[in-house]
A and B are shown apart, each in its own frame.
Chain A
Amino acid sequence: MPKRTDIQSVLVIGSGPIIIGQACEFDYSGTQACRVLRQEGLRVVLVNSNPATIMTDPEFADATYVEPITPDYVEKVIAKERPDALLATLGGQTALNCAMALDKAGVLEKYGVELIGASIEAIERGENRQQFKKIVEQLGGESARSVICHSVDDLLAAADDLGYPMVVRPSFTMGGTGSGMAYDEADLRRIGGSGLDASPTTEVLLEESILGWKEYELEVMRDSADNSVIVCSIENLDPMGVHTGDSITVAPAMTLTDREYQKMRDLAIDIIRAVGVDTGGCNIQYAVNPADGRLIVIEMNPRVSRSSALASKATGFPIAKIAAKVAIGYTLDEIDNDITQETPASFEPSLDYVVVKVPRFAFEKFPEADPTLTTHMKSVGEAMAIGRSFTEALQKSLRSLESKHAPFDWHKEYVELDKASLLEEIKVPHDGRLKKVMDAIRAGATPEEIFDATAIDPWFVDQLALINEVAVQLIEATELTPDLLRLAKRHGFSDEQVGKIRGLPADVVRGVRHALAIRPVYKTVDTCAAEFAAQTPYHYSSYDEETEVRPRAEGKEAVIILGSGPNRIGQGIEFDYSCVHASLALAEAGYETIMVNCNPETVSTDYDTSDRLYFEPLTLEDVLEIVHAEQQAGPVAGVVCQLGGQTPLGLAQGLADAGVPIVGTTPEAIHLAEERGAFGRVLADAGLPAPKHGTATSYPQAQRIAHEIGYPVLVRPSYVLGGRGMEIVYDDAALEAYLEKYVANGLINERQPVLVDRFLDDAVEIDVDALFDGEELFMGGVMEHIEEAGIHSGDSSCALPPITLGREEIDRIRRSTEAIARGLGVRGLLNIQFALASDVLYVLEANPRASRTVPFVSKATATPLAKAAARVMLGESIADLRVAGVLPAEGDGGHLPDGSPIAVKEAVMPFDRFKTADGRTVDALLGPEMRSTGEVMGFDAFFGTAFAKAQAAAYGSLPLSGKVFVSVANRDKRHMIFPVKQIADMGFEILATAGTAEVLRRNGVQATVVRKHSEGEGPDGEPTIVGLIWAREVDLVINTPHGATSGGSPRADGYDIRTAAVSTDIPCITTIQGLGAAVQGLEAMRRGDIGVRSLQDWARLAAEGRNP
């Protein structure tokens, strides 16, 4: 069936901010969808609040709305754009839930919008566990025995029937929120109780335990002619009990006979048909009892998912792209397989390699969180690796994680291993368990013992044993023979691992290896196991015989762009955005672009993004080999290390030392910015003040500096991203504890000293992104933080253009920025953080690379900063780029024209994902160490509305009525009165602690007194404000930090309030500026005149010089 002719315009809903369980895979899928739909000549309307996405680049849609993904805002978009159809299956659970809400509210019917992909009924059949179970049973499949519960009494009654342990799963939550394993009644009451709360339908499913069973997933694609294909099978190395997102997974399935596989396949196709997903992708999860093969269907996602992104990258079959095509009427046989270009998409990919995905966790950011892995997803990112064998792929994936603790380690110091305690430890799944399994094997555990402890399939256990046997050969060999080295490389050992075992530096191993001509070859992901020739150079390395890298076309020069690896807190989608932009810009400038990355969620690892893609770990060894292979293929202009965050930046020096040309800012300049002493000299030369500071490698040194500067001080290790290990320290004892901790874990050492800075209280923080070509400075944007200094820039909200800075201050910022850019020798992007305190502009730090805010700034100012940066790095000047139309002909982002819209960025925090061992939410303290996973942008003519939108996008809307709690620092009391009075006048009930209430009363604002957290509950159980927030009896919190308290526990009360607010998703305003903004926002909301406007319309208005 050809394309439908009755659809001219499609609304695509994205997935909003990056959160745990819903990351940039939906930018990848959404970007593909937008691209396809536009190619098909449809008008594409897009809504997504996340500015760091590629899909929200204005060229990917006809109308791009960076607006909150809430039913009211999306309705406004629909009313304005009147799309024919809505495609909601590519934006994760967020988009699906929004579409369901729009349907329920009658909006789709009212505007005649057809939901394409999956109907409301199909979504309900797929997601409602009871309905789904019935369908599976009607088809002759089996589900786990289960009971639906709507109350705690239901839960307890069901437990008698099912027996402990059992799985608790709330309905309609995303990424498994609220689910867990109950081993006893106490667990059941706790997990089940909060699950009932978390479920929008107050519904929890209790299931028989299938812990330890083998876990599988099939990715299915269906078209409107009822053709279905299985795109990929995935097997989890971690058996049932660990969320798929937190499991090590392998594609294709490794331990299924054809008979069992076909049984799953038949069921999958029957299910997608019965559920009625008319077109598009979905995935179905299975559990298999290893003892007798009993097959159970666990669940399905009637939409494109995280696994779909993984499956797309693992097979070369672009699920989202195909899903978009079948949604508008094409059948699979009418769609070409991009990779072969001669066969259709109506086939099932065959893999002649093994793909391993490993999760990346962030428990170091949440030390009090329980690191046990459960059915509730906790990982913040993932790395994928491809090899010609499982051993090769597994070891590549572990080094792709960029955690020095991840790869297996046979270092000689390691030999004291206690089998019994290791076997005990590996019983409980946790981050790093696989390494412990390897240690247990080293300690002599038998395969049976490992299986009994972990239920990891014996085939995988044997593969681990195989890796260990190779390591033992390396340990025991009298010399490192070519055969032995070849064997080790074939099983994925890195030069570093081999070196560690043999007591050699990695570069010596590399030298030996190269002398022996032992190098990897590059194979191609081709969807068909080489049955047909691949036209798309999507490569992975393997120590095998024949390479497939093609010579470069005559006259083409290549640029290699290093991506940012697995998402983690502090280094996420924003860096991928810059890499993708660089690739697009350099292709336009005539280069052959080569992307290197190992993150399957990203747009950069879409084979459509760059001319060549290497899906490889970002380590020095792996990158050097790619550079070598590409230099064999033709000329290489250089390697881009500046755009992917700290990961590629950390490789720059090593690459340069090996003679690889680095384009843009040199490794020396990067070092200059990172090394405190050198950077201090750059500032001194330019006459720029920095907060008093010093560097130390021991406590006595640090103490001396702290005393000199005066407490509080800001301490942090050097060479880290995302404020890793950054803390505000108030006294000697805390400083000593800090140094003890970070020296012990190796983050602080002789080469990486601790930086000790004066902490500037009461300062306004300012972030700048700029571009420098050696001559001219282009200010990308100046962002003013809304939160006070001391909160990591990644976690604070900010406004662009700055809302309180005048022209004089911005000029000062510009002069300082240029002096630093010149002093460091920047060629490309530069990010500087300033603090304005008592009218002194302090330089906090400078990073000569793309920053997290580049996409936000680019979107807010309609200037493609990363694209421009890539071209500057390869030698073009800012003046050239102004002429070429990449940058505006005049002016820059420092001074935006009058009437420019205001963009507000708000961070999204993952605190609700992490529980302590006793089941409470971790402390939601914001601080100098970054903990947010994502961000949203609110965009409007005025700060108040932009702020209200940012709040709505991050936390759901500000309330229109209800109770508002006010507690502010003394210094803020005077400024609070007027806005709080306005809020009271709008009809809100004001709650306040005694002191604040009295001030308000004297100013004619009636406030109900509530108890402070520190006062504890009253004699008759009167709740504290924190208790009230937890009970969700407050609708809005206004709490400005109180500064260091006399009790020595700085800001304690305020932080407890914030923790509670964050955990309960209650909007919380922490600054007086924010309060003023919120009042403006509330007023606009109550007037009901907050509108929506596409980026394209904003640009049109700006071009016409009109004020909105």
Chain B
Amino acid sequence: MALPARNQTAAIMVLEDGRTFRGESFGAEGETFGEAVFSTGMTGYQETLTDPSYHRQVVVMTAPHVGNTGMNDEDTESSRIWVAGYVVRDPARVPSSWRSVRSLDDDLRDQGVVGISGVDTRALTRHLRERGAMRVGISTTETDPQRLLARVLQSGEMAGANLSEAVSTQEAYVVPAVGDRRFTVAAVDLGIKSNTPRMMSERGIEVHVLPATSTIEDVRAVSPDGLFFSNGPGDPAATTGQVQLLQDALRVGIPYFGICFGNQLFGRALGFGTYKLKYGHRGINQPVMDRTTGKVEVTAHNHGFAVDAPLEGSTATEFGEVSVSHVCLNDDVVEGLELRDADGRLTSFSVQYHPEAAAGPHDAAYLFDRFSDLMSDRKDA
């Protein structure tokens, strides 16, 4: 049965600078806090909601109609919805897709995710663009914006937050290779999306997904041909254990591939700093140039932090020469790093965006092949 033309339960949303939006309840009722970020993807809300990188974030969808295709059992990127809150303009009243098994509203309710609808999401997005990502509270129980604001100001900030351990698997597990096993990879789960091991396994990689707290011994225990760090939430500067692990692995010469958070940690492991972007990149339409081929990829992004590395030239480190391999054409943000040995051979690399897509274009899927090639070269050598 369709929802009524208007949901009678009111909801309010207050940003940490005091700007208030009024709307109607969507999903679970209650109160929630998080960092307000906007995502410009027009498809793929199911993947977005279940992406662990959105842990503790309140996601604003710029696409006005959300929920049109319902929820299915195939497109989920992890075991649950991770967003702290959800802001949409016009939620679908009935889903329509041959694969849909539940409505979005049902899933949000079942998982206790508080949302708000009927909001001028464009005004909100423009506000975040101009003022930067900031904390926000959504409530269906509070009617006084001032009181909600007080609680927003008490909520945790994203800068300095170490969140990957909260979203990581507690137990190691194995995703077997499709067909013959060509390689074994230790994939450290900092908030990994289901499609990442899937893309690897399709290339004959047996993926050992390890908890975020794994040590170099845990990694070496699976005798990997390569090490992988996934995407994940939080401030890379607040993450020290995994940086240590990565440096240990680089020292022993394990080829490394990192995505998103894994790119930021790679940067930190190589001695670069990371910083918080004003409002981040979240969408599936971002142009990135692969500087080795000069080709432009349209890519999926979800990052609020970035690596601070020189765009031109290379930097010497104890692990080799590192240079920026990918750049976002919109704003020249570092989107990829590559490490080469003294002979100029690629030894490790990482990208800030999402070659596993889901949601998003498949333009960068070649990076998984590049990882395979890297491991294959290493094996031959």
Contact = CB atoms under 8 A, between A and B. Distances in A.
B120 A546 contact: yes
B32 interface: no
Most buried by B among A257, A350, A354, A548: A257
A982 interface: no
A974 to B, nearest CB: 72
Interface string B341-357: 00000000000000001
Interface stretch (A45-53, A221-229, A772-780): A221-229
B362 interface: yes
Contacts of A350: 40-42, 62-63, 283, 285
A333 B297 CA distance: 10
A913 to B, nearest CB: 34
A887 B75 CA distance: 66
Interface stretch (A69-77, A458-466, A657-665): A458-466
B127 to A, nearest CB: 9
A352 B63 contact: yes
Nearest to A265: B361
Contacts of B47: 258
Nearest to B44: A258
Contacts of A916: none
Contact of B64 (A266, A354, A457): A354
A621 to B, nearest CB: 21
B99 interface: yes
Interface in A458-492: 458-459, 462, 465-466, 469-470, 473, 487, 491
B65 A544 contact: no
Interface string A523-560: 10000111111000000000011101000000000000
Contacts, number: 174
Interface string B288-326: 010000111010000000000000000000000000000
B65 A390 contact: yes
A262 interface: yes
Q: Please classify how large the interface on chain B is, using the bins under 10, 10 to 19, 20 to 34, 35 or more.
A: 35 or more
B242 interface: no
Given A333-B296, A544-B120, A291 B64 contact: no
Contacts of B75: 257-259
B122 A546 contact: yes
A347 B46 contact: no
Nearest to A331: B296
Nearest to A293: B98
Given A258-B47, A333-B289, A546-B120, A462 B94 contact: yes
Interface in B92-142: 92-99, 120-123, 125-126, 129
A343 interface: yes
Contacts of A529: 38, 40, 62-63, 122, 125, 283
Interface stretch (A248-256, A564-572, A992-1000, A1089-1097): A248-256
B62 A346 contact: no
B274 interface: no
A352 B62 contact: yes
A459 B92 contact: yes
Given A530-B129, A532-B330, A458 B42 contact: no
A352 B119 CA distance: 13
B239 interface: no
A466 B2 contact: yes
A280 interface: no
Interface residues of A, number: 63
B40 A528 contact: yes
Most buried by A among B41, B122, B286, B357: B122
A388 B123 CA distance: 12
A372 to B, nearest CB: 27
B63 to A, nearest CB: 6
Contact of B358 (A229, A254, A258): A258
Interface in A427-468: 447, 457-459, 462, 465-466
Contact of B96 (A343, A458, A470): A458
A230 B285 CA distance: 9
A922 interface: no
Contacts of A491: 5
Nearest to A490: B118
B11 to A, nearest CB: 15
A458 B62 CA distance: 23
Contact of B68 (A225, A227, A254, A528): A254
Nearest to B45: A258
Contacts of A230: 298
B72 interface: yes
Contacts of A473: 5
A252 B93 contact: no
Given A258-B284, A352-B125, 8 more contacts: A230-B298, A254-B68, A258-B358, A262-B357, A347-B330, A352-B62, A389-B64, A530-B38
28 contacts: A233-B42, A254-B65, A254-B68, A255-B69, A257-B69, A258-B43, A258-B47, A259-B75, A262-B359, A262-B362, A265-B362, A293-B98, A333-B329, A343-B329, A347-B286, A348-B298, A350-B285, A352-B62, A354-B64, A388-B89, A462-B92, A462-B94, A462-B96, A473-B5, A530-B38, A530-B122, A531-B125, A544-B122
By Cβ-Cβ distance, the 7 closest A-B pairs, closest first, are A258-B44, A546-B123, A545-B120, A529-B62, A258-B359, A459-B96, A258-B43
